[in-house]
């Protein structure tokens, strides 16, 4: 484990925890298995199946972020991360193995940070291809509240272009 990188991830996240350790080690595995480097744009894509602490490590270490469109949230509630390299079309799905760990968070975290990667993760072939690059949609003004929303989120209600919030009212 790279202690200095771990400390920087902790500073970015705000505290140490087992969840951050899971994301940290998943990134380590992805870097090793796919020979990844920091993604300045959309060279690397991560599809995360959770919105937990480990995703902060993914953002900090790999450069995959929601803002750039190369961090995609696929809500499955699993400690699973799929990484892709656009230049080689390679991908790997990294899934935390099932554990009966103690309720001692510090011991669990230390185990996650120091155990061999093959002991804590299953490595699988992704069942889907590389997601398309991020799309930039024009903004449309909602004819009810006046706020702007991305064109793909606009709905029609009684002949008016409306945002999702106003559509639901």
Measured in degrees and rounded to the nearest 5, phi and psi for residue 46 equal -125, 130
88-89-91 Cα angle (round to 5) = 110
Hey, what are 128's tokens?
């889907």
Burial class, 70, CB count within 10 angstroms (exposed 0-12 / middle 13-18 / buried 19+): buried
Question: Other CB atoms closer than 10 Å to residue 117's CB: what's the count?
Answer: 14
What is the chain's length? 169
For residue 57, what are the CA distances in angstroms to 39, 94, 136, 151?
14, 14, 26, 31
Instruction: Count Cα atoms within 13 angstroms, Cβ side, for 93.
Output: 14
Q: What is the residue-level pLDDT of the chain in tens, covering all 169 positions?
A: 699 999 999 999 999 999 999 999 999 999 999 999 999 999 999 999 999 999 999 999 999 999 999 999 999 999 999 999 999 999 999 999 988 777 889 999 999 999 999 999 999 999 999 999 999 999 999 999 999 999 999 999 999 999 999 998 7
| Sequential DSSP letters for 101-140 | --S-HHHHHHHHHHS-HHHHEEEE--SS-PPPPPP-PPEE
Terminal CA-CA length for the chain = 51
């Amino acid at each position: 484990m790279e202690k200095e990188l771990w400390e920087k991830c902790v500073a970015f996240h705000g505290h140490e925890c087992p969840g951050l350790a899971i994301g940290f080690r998943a990134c380590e595995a992805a870097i090793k298995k796919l020979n990844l480097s920091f993604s300045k744009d959309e060279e690397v894509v991560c599809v995360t199946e959770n919105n937990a602490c480990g995703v902060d490590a993914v953002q900090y270490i790999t450069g995959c972020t929601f803002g750039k469109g190369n961090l995609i949230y696929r809500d499955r509630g699993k400690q699973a991360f799929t990484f892709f390299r656009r230049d080689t079309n390679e991908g790997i799905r990294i899934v935390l193995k099932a554990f009966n760990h103690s309720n001692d968070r510090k011991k669990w975290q230390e185990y996650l940070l120091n155990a061999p990667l093959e002991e804590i993760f299953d490595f699988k072939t992704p069942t889907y291809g590389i997601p398309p690059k991020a799309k930039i949609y024009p903004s449309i003004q909602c004819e009810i509240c006046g706020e702007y929303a991305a064109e793909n989120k606009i709905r029609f209600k009684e002949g008016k272009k409306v945002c999702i919030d106003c559509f639901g009212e």
